[in-house]
Structure 1
Amino acid sequence: MPAGGVVRPPELSAVGAFRPDGQGGLVAPAADLDGRWGYLDGDGRRMSGPALGHATGFDGEGLSRFRADGAWGYAGTDGAPVVPARFTEAGPFSYGLAVVRTPEGVGYADTAGTVVVGGAYRDAGRFGVNGLGGVMLPDGRCGNEWTRGFLDVTGAPAIEPVYEWADAFDPGAAVRELLDLPAREFRPSSLLERNEDPYDLDELDDHDLERTHFGAVRVVASSRLDAAWLTEYPFLLEETQERFAEVLDTCERRLRERFGEPLAHPGTLLRTGDGEWAVAWEADGRRLVLQLFELVGDGDHELQIWLAVTDF
């Protein structure tokens, strides 16, 4: 095929990053125009589907998470299920184990889908760069029902669960958390609109529904300045913008340290307003977006910084 030739007609709504299939070819998740997911080979031919609710990029174990009939499983690079869809939630693999949730609780499953560590935890985190994963265990030493500690990749306790809160040993922990969340349709919320849940799309009109994303999002920083305050204290806006610039600079610097140079073009903004700026990276075959958002309404002024992972 000549360079720049069309591999297949533009009949897809989303395509993930291509990864080696272990047989000398490539494979990627892709969705049709109705949002049904399957897998493509390197020539754009369908390997399976489209019949899935969602499919993610392939992780280091050569597995892709997919959702079918409301449950999550794992597919191999041939597009066929390796682990049937039976988990309430399923994360990517790290050190050969993945965080999965069932009605009984949370544990770590191997690549065959067998829960080999835990299974009844309240919560658990992906194993970090030092091979430790944080878990929530039933206890009472912190004055509540649960405490946090860390396991190694064998499931043995590495740090005793005596903490009310413990973050992951990973400079990209916030990103890992987003990547581990099940992908859902969302639109970042505006403080001026008083809708706090970005996944609640019931009140959106047709125009806004055409501008949603599929993935996960969290608020890094947010501030709403009422018109009355700005009239009385006009310096508040400039000072708030300066603080947000510092936060944004720190976040971008740390993400560069973890994920390298950003993409040349960030792609579609998470949301547009009266001022926005964004930068993006590729992370596990998905787009990692850091965005500043400003909106003005009736003299009120809001600023937010969002971190999100979305499908390409």
Structure 2
Amino acid sequence: MNARGELVIKADNRISDTFGAGLVRFDDDYLHGYLDAAGEEVIEQRYEWAEDFDEGGATVAHFFDPGEDDDPEAGASAEARPPGRAWGVLRADGRFFPVDHPEPLTDVDGWILGFSGGLAPFATGDGGTAHVDRDGRDVCRVQPSADGDALRIVDRAGTTVWETAATAGTFERTGITHARDMAGYLAYPGAPERDIVDLAGELLAAEPRRFEPCGLIFDDREDPYELPEEEDEDADGTSFGAVGVVAEVNLYAEHQHALPYLQEWTVERFQEIEADAVERLSARFGAPLPGVEVYLRSGDGETSTVWGVGGRRLVLQSCLVVGDGDVEIQLWLAAVEPEPSDIQAEA
């Protein structure tokens, strides 16, 4: 409303509660755009993440390019990012400057910091932080050493302008919070350097016991693979053998709402992890058993690949579980004892 109490702008879905640089942000629960004071759309809905413009007329934004089939002129995608998508700096005049960094720096809860400090920090992907100005240019970088015992600041040209040292482990390297690569989701000990085939050998050699895999969000057991005391050992969903977590992630509803690409990106990474694991395990244990599926636990989406190894079943299972908008994805590897009926059916 204007100062006279007259309705000026009404959005069909959501609209920001303030103007920044003379523009107000609106969205349809998916893509963001900007309206001027007359309610005219002056920046098209092309941004999967955006905030109100600051006093300098800039905001960190995540651009979405629908592809050449939809718009041949739209092209801000870059390597090492989801196809057709790019992080960068959006200006109030509609210009978008993509940056060569995987994603903006976030706080401990996963929320993007943006231009709250005058410069926008971005995770560089190599453990450092790049501070970007309102034209999308790197001003400086903060770079901790691999062992965390030294920290240096370099300018735009790469010249060290400040450096210090401390006890090893003092300085923490910056990690990617949302759009991690495959290795960022791996959970088994020694990953990614340790081959999953080594994990399979360890599970096959382990003393069998009853277990039931549990989730990250929806279960709170101290040992996720020990059958709860109050549950019948013959209950459905339990297995006998040994199991380990290959990869896991929690996707919270709030983050997925703010970053619509997040689940799609993460599922693609897990599919890559699973395909790589199938290839490695098949090279060691032979082709998977045709038509045989073993599910350690059911969810809202799962796949299963099974190998026969020395009278046991080596099971690789992915499991996706949804609850109140939150999503958890896990990839399990287990060595289980086959049921007698399974052996008879295969024979």
- TM (normalized to structure 1)? 0.44
- Tell me which protein shows more strand as a share of its residues: 1
Larger Rg: 2
